[in-house]
Structure 1
Amino acid sequence: MEKAGSGGSDRGQSVQARCGDHGRAEAAKGVGASLQGAQGGARAPKKSHPVCFGSKAEVFEFIEVNRDKHDLTLMCRVYGVTRAGYYAWRSRERSERERQNEALAERIKAVHAESRGTYGSPRVHQALRQRGCSVGKHRVARLMRAHGIKARVATIRYTSPSLQRYYSGIPNRQLELELKQPDQVWVGDITYLKVGGIYRYLAVVMDKYSRRVVGWSYGPRKDVKLTLKALNNAVRGRRPGRDLVFHTDRGIEYAAGAFKERIAELGITQSMNRPGKVTDNAFIESFFHSMKTDVYHGRSFDEDEEIRTVLKDYLPFYNRARLHSSLSYVSPATFERQVR
């Protein structure tokens, strides 16, 4: 593991270049296997081990982090250092850089906790800057790796999309619009959420300019009732003008007569993806990916009320607090205040 706070030249960058994506915290997952292989006395080949070390100090740092999980003597033997050398390293007075890194790591942990474990190093770095902490993004990334602080990551599963009916009468009307303010274009879509072995559905309406979720509905059926409820919630909360464009995919839930009638009644212009162009609605797809990564993947829900509670908690957090990379690392609500 890279030593947090090493003085002189920043050897962490050279180590990182050699290791590529094999970060210290991620590589630690392979430590158990390597040490188990050495239990019988065989020494683990260094080239086969997933951790790259640039110095003995980095080896000692790595052993320090993992000593509660693995035998100290065995780790010293596997990584080619002595117990005496390890204890001598521990007894040395910490450098000023190390003390600074320790304090910075605590601030990083606080920001990460406030993000509910969703922020990676870019957002943590931006949050620290907004709080007046002048620190480099690479240093933040190194400290997060050293302390095992990681953002939630989703495992994406690709499935073959079913063929959808082509509604030639509704073109994509939002492609050529130049967005200058909120409530010019809204985008909507539906995603699946599994609850107790049964799929439920979440319909969301988002402002394309500010990325703010302006309306949503959750229910057991993927139908026009679901999409109408999300739309009506958005209209009730935002009260948009009659020049609004509402863009969706070509699903029947948005092309049904009841939905078209409500859109026309509100004076909203309907827009749909071009045939075969799923990226036409990329903004809402990106939101679903972020939401599922933050609060859905890796968890199980047995009751509808459980996931409703999560949604009621997460969506205000997303709108008001979660930093958005495409908005110069401010939340959607903050971005709207800045442009109004």
Structure 2
Amino acid sequence: MFKPNKVWTTDITYIRTKEGWLYLCVMLDLFSRRIVGWQTSTRIDRQLVCDAFNYALARQGYPKNLMVHSDQGSQYCSRDFRAQLLTNNCIQSMSRRGNCWDNAVTESFFHTLKGHVVNDSVFSTRKEANSVLFDYIEIYYNRIRRHSANGWLSPEAFEQNYLKSLEGSNLHNSV
């Protein structure tokens, strides 16, 4: 059975602004499809990936034995990112070269994101794009948007139901 914080997928996409590209890296929990961490940057480098990973780890309480799945991009192959995985007892998993389907859940998130808020628009500033990304990820996607994989619950509602079921089984076992 799947549990939260056992397998995360990650990838990077880009958002066009009048100031130049804004790169977005997300960490997505396969259990609930919740974005557990994300970061933006003007550079598509290893620091972007490391920052998103650190944010997700801190936010999720530094889970152990976590598998992190990505493509074979240079950011994910970097010494810095691999060292962070090792330091935090995480397992690295990578797609086969040139096979985007191995990371389909994260690709699907990016497709949804771009369809809902990016479309063909160009944001005036990176700050504006960041604000829209925050609202979409933290308010709409994680809390409201329903997923067929979650029985049509939002990622947060799906996780809350899971936690309630654990509490219920613990109460039942203690009686």
State TM-score, norm by structure 1: 0.46
1:276 CA displacement: 3.2
Structure with bigger gyration radius? 1
Deviations 1:67-99 (A, max 9, x none): xxxxxxxxxxxxxxxxxxxxxxxxxxxxxxxxx
Higher relative contact order (CA 8 A, sep 6+): 2
Deviations 1:247-306 (A, max 9, x none): 100000010001101110011111100233221100000000001111110432111111
Equivalents in 2 of 1:208, 1:323: separation in Å? 15
Q: SS of the counterpart of 1:293? A: helix
Equivalents in 2 of 1:202, 1:241: separation in Å? 23
Equivalents in 2 of 1:181, 1:240: separation in Å? 15
Deviations 1:166-221 (A, max 9, x none): xxxxxxxxxxxxx5211110000000111116222000000011100000000100
Q: SS of the counterpart of 1:300? A: coil
CA contact (8 A) 2:49 2:75 kept: yes
Q: What is residue 221 of structure 1 aligned with on the other side?
A: 43
Match of 1:290 among 109, 112, 121: 112
Q: SS of the counterpart of 2:92? A: strand
Tell me whether 1:308 sits opposite 2:94 in the alignment. no
State TM-score, norm by structure 2: 0.89
Equivalents in 1 of 2:34, 2:63: separation in Å? 17
Equivalents in 1 of 2:119, 2:63: separation in Å? 37
Relative to 1, partners in 2 of residues 1:277 and 1:300: Cα closer, same or farther, differing over 3 Å? closer
Equivalents in 1 of 2:116, 2:28: separation in Å? 18
Q: What is residue 195 of structure 1 aligned with on the other side?
A: 17
Equivalents in 1 of 2:97, 2:48: separation in Å? 23
Q: SS of the counterpart of 1:193? A: strand
Q: SS of the counterpart of 1:181? A: coil
- Greater shift, 282-291 or 190-199, is seen at 190-199
CA contact (8 A) 2:57 2:63 kept: no
Q: What is residue 262 of structure 1 aligned with on the other side?
A: 84
Tell me whether 1:327 sits opposite 2:119 in the alignment. no
Deviations 1:89-119 (A, max 9, x none): xxxxxxxxxxxxxxxxxxxxxxxxxxxxxxx
Match of 1:336 among 135, 159, 171: 159
How many residue pairs align between the two structures?
A: 162
CA contact (8 A) 2:66 2:91 kept: yes
CA RMSD for the aligned pairs? Answer: 1.2
Q: What is residue 166 of structure 2 aligned with on the other side?
A: none
Tell me whether 1:181 sits opposite 2:41 in the alignment. no
1:223 CA displacement: 0.2
Match of 1:318 among 125, 141, 150: 141
Letter in 2 for 1:332: P
Equivalents in 2 of 1:311, 1:276: separation in Å? 27
Structure 2: runs of 5+ lacking an equivalent:
164-175
Q: What is residue 59 of structure 2 aligned with on the other side?
A: 237
Deviations 1:20-79 (A, max 9, x none): xxxxxxxxxxxxxxxxxxxxxxxxxxxxxxxxxxxxxxxxxxxxxxxxxxxxxxxxxxxx
Q: SS of the counterpart of 2:23? A: strand
Equivalents in 2 of 1:228, 1:320: separation in Å? 25
Higher strand fraction: Structure 1 or Structure 2?
A: 2
CA contact (8 A) 1:203 1:227 kept: yes
The percentage of aligned residue pairs carrying the same residue is 37
